[in-house]
Chains A and B, each alone.
Chain A
């Protein structure tokens, strides 16, 4: 395996508002997350004290790291409730441990649990987005800060972090494009949506579509473009799935880039309609 380089963006310094001087050492070689074959440690701010969440602000550069695990294997033996020290029950261990059923206490954010695991899903592109909302609401009903007014300051902070993370997870997985980008990110591939296009073929295509949209005056023409774009979205999302499965990340990136553009056109058309 190649050497992993961990680069931390400024964002995570920004998160550290309540605990600027408190650091904790997090061992990334724990069984929950495999970043590297050899154990190595990194200093990052103490999650527990901070009001903020960190995931997504640590950028992993380097090749694929296998942090996707099925939800069942998630629970390591040492995860216990911080409050009552209970071990998650059998039914709970099926789901990620964000909330302790025995003392009804919100747990600190565990960033090794990815968005798919939060929703009890296998890490794949083709998911039923419709089913997300119910799960999302179930979580919010347990985790939302509005519901823990009477609890300790500590738990209220956990609630704020957990709830925000579930919102992020929900909005990321709901849309195919952001879901795809997130999957790449989990595999250590950063996709820059703002990246300028270098492919002349795509460039020409984009210009053409732009013109079409501008010239379209009636809803019929716009609807025509819309269905064209949706078709293209479909084609490229299939291409993405194929590329991703065969771990051809360059190809996958290209697909994502195209999808980004088509989705923007769709947005524009919908606005005009």
Chain B
């Protein structure tokens, strides 16, 4: 196999809005799942999924490090579950990307059969693959980039043209920091992200297309239809409510959380071998193998429980450690009770945010790898009073197909039948705001705001003659800033000397249709028409690594000296 070096493209290339005016190609749709990946493209009349040389549409998301070139799940010739588990193979990149070592998701990843180490100080975790008995450090970005290079080569070979533009699906709960990481990863693989689509919104677009086709063929009513999309894969659970009419889909609400098949698997592994965490702490070759074996056996058992009510788990983990147990479906459901409850609460939250009643929902769409689990299907249909889920979408392919349709729409392709006459109006999945009133998070743009969006709030100083203020931008749902992701910060200087509470510091947040977030800050003294200092405009996120650290350092150095409070309007 020819060597495929990955290249680092500059950031400006990844943003390249200017280039979008002349598209040489139809952007392809890519769905990088925690466990599996797929690629699809609009072939002129419909969406077509691309297959690798082994005729697979779904490719495992992993990269195996070797002495020479690493190889990923797209191209490797030999495929056996157990090869994944020699310590040299890194997977679950999507769960690990853009997270610091204080993140609970990183902590939960410590029993993966490769090295994930944390120092719990808010920096990148130490991730490494075992190659010839030596730990070779890597990052989720590097692993994903290697994988994407393979994916790209495969697509180029099949479509017989160079591939540059892609539409990529992402989990709803990804922070903007994580999105930046994903974009950079794509740039490393020489790919330009035309659009990042939250997974259920890609499904919503596909649903919109179905409705459009149905109304063309006069089988549909052509009036507005509301659908709830529940998408649970290996790493993430996402929910969306969409209202579609005439090819236009308005995303009314989004909700997402980091729970998926991986968590079900972890819980089951703990159940089958309660002290697995401590047993596998050492990450020696033997332990990694045992961990791997347990993982494969548990995964098989969960898969079988989707079609049968009980399953025999019989696995020899080595060193006299054997598991021989019959597990039935109720046990599996009981072990994962909390996770299923969380799924329910996401759906309910999403309906509430969308201001949609259960009765108003025309279609319930259940997709993602976990949709095969009977309990998952039941919990969704129970909320909708036993309503039959929407048929006509392949649960594993819906997201990538939606991404491919979006790729064609965004590339300006027209379809003679109007099947690409589509539009998705997106909403912001997470609230964005700044730190003010002490350690509180003051959202400026609430979650589920239609994009493009702009909001502003007036703040003021907390000290007399305060001439500088720190604008700390966060994203999330927590009331306190530390519960949210820090996206960046900047300082406004040159505030005219005045008693506290007098200067009006106007902070404005703007998200354009391309989902670019800008934060503007200006200062006005009461009675003046002109801003006291030039307006600062900063594109977010600005922080790169270790933002947990950085917030603490800022706090240590400046305390409350640069703080702000919201300005109460005088009656």
User: Which chain A residues have a beta carbon within 8 Å of chain B's beta carbons?
Assistant: 8, 10-11, 13-14, 16-17, 20, 51-52, 133-134, 136-138, 140-141, 144-147, 149-153, 159-160, 163-164, 167, 171, 192, 194-196, 198, 270-271
Contacts and interface: CB of A to CB of B under 8 A. Distances in A.
A270 B421 CA distance: 37
B454 A164 contact: yes
A152 B506 CA distance: 32
B568 A194 contact: yes
A10 B412 contact: no
Given A150-B21, A160-B452, A13 B535 contact: yes
B537 A133 contact: no
A140 B426 CA distance: 12
Nearest to B421: A141
A160 B508 contact: no
Contacts of A151: 21
B247 interface: yes
Nearest to A145: B513
A147 B411 CA distance: 9
Contacts of B529: 8
Nearest to B450: A167
A17 to B, nearest CB: 5
Contacts of B243: 133
Given A150-B22, A194-B569, 13 more contacts: A8-B529, A11-B506, A13-B530, A134-B245, A138-B246, A140-B248, A141-B248, A146-B409, A146-B424, A150-B20, A160-B452, A160-B513, A171-B450
A197 to B, nearest CB: 10
B452 A145 contact: yes
A90 B453 CA distance: 33
B141 interface: no
Contacts, number: 105
Contacts of B22: 150
Interface string B233-272: 0000000000101111010000000000000000000000
B522 interface: yes
Interface in B409-447: 409-412, 421, 423-425
B220 to A, nearest CB: 15
B423 A145 contact: no
Contact of A14 (B21, B23, B410, B522): B522
Contacts of A144: 423, 425, 513
Contact of B524 (A10, A141, A150): A10
A134 B124 CA distance: 47
A16 B246 contact: no
Contacts of A8: 529
Given A14-B456, A14-B522, A150 B412 contact: yes
Contact of A141 (B246, B506, B568): B246
Contacts of B530: 13
Contacts of B409: 146-147
Contact of A10 (B245, B411, B452, B531): B531
**Interface band, chain B:** 35 or more
Contact of A17 (B452, B520, B571): B520
A13 B452 contact: no
B156 interface: no
Contacts of A152: 21
Nearest to A7: B529
Contacts of B245: 133-134, 137
A195 B423 contact: no
A236 to B, nearest CB: 20
A192 B571 contact: yes
B101 interface: no
A109 B205 CA distance: 28
A172 to B, nearest CB: 12
Contacts of B21: 149-153
Contacts of B518: 17
Interface of B: 18, 20-23, 224, 243, 245-248, 250, 352, 409-412, 421, 423-425, 450, 452-454, 456, 458, 504, 506, 508, 510, 512-514, 518, 520, 522, 524, 529-531, 534-535, 537, 568-569, 571
Contacts of B535: 13-14, 16-17, 20
A133 B224 contact: yes
Nearest to B512: A160
Contacts of B20: 149-150
Contacts of B450: 167, 171
A134 B452 contact: no
Given A10-B531, A137-B246, A52 B510 contact: yes
7 contacts: A8-B529, A10-B522, A11-B506, A14-B506, A141-B247, A153-B21, A160-B452
Q: Which 10 A-B residue pairings sit nearest by Cβ, starting from the closest?
A: A145-B513, A137-B248, A10-B524, A150-B412, A10-B506, A164-B452, A14-B508, A195-B571, A14-B520, A167-B450
A261 to B, nearest CB: 15
A134 B522 contact: no
Contacts of A196: 571
Contacts of A150: 20-23, 412
Nearest to A164: B452
B514 A11 contact: no
Contacts of A11: 456, 506, 508
Contacts of B456: 11, 14
Contact of A146 (B410, B508, B524): B410
Contacts of A20: 534-535
A260 B468 CA distance: 36
A5 B529 CA distance: 13
A75 B164 CA distance: 45
A133 to B, nearest CB: 6
A198 B409 CA distance: 54
Contacts of B524: 10, 13
A146 B423 contact: yes
Contacts of A10: 458, 504, 506, 522, 524, 531
B528 to A, nearest CB: 9
Nearest to A194: B569
Nearest to A139: B248
Contacts of B504: 10
A164 B411 CA distance: 22
Contacts of A164: 452-454
Contact of B514 (A145, A147, A167, A192): A145
B531 A13 contact: yes
B425 A192 contact: no
B417 to A, nearest CB: 17
A114 to B, nearest CB: 19
A163 B506 contact: no
Nearest to A51: B512
A223 B507 CA distance: 39
B454 A13 contact: no
Contacts of B512: 51, 145, 160
A149 B452 contact: no
Given A14-B456, A146-B410, A167-B452, A137 B569 contact: no
Contacts of B571: 192, 195-196, 198
A140 B568 contact: no
B246 A146 contact: no
A192 B567 CA distance: 13
Nearest to B412: A150
Contact of B423 (A134, A141, A149): A141
Contacts of A136: 250
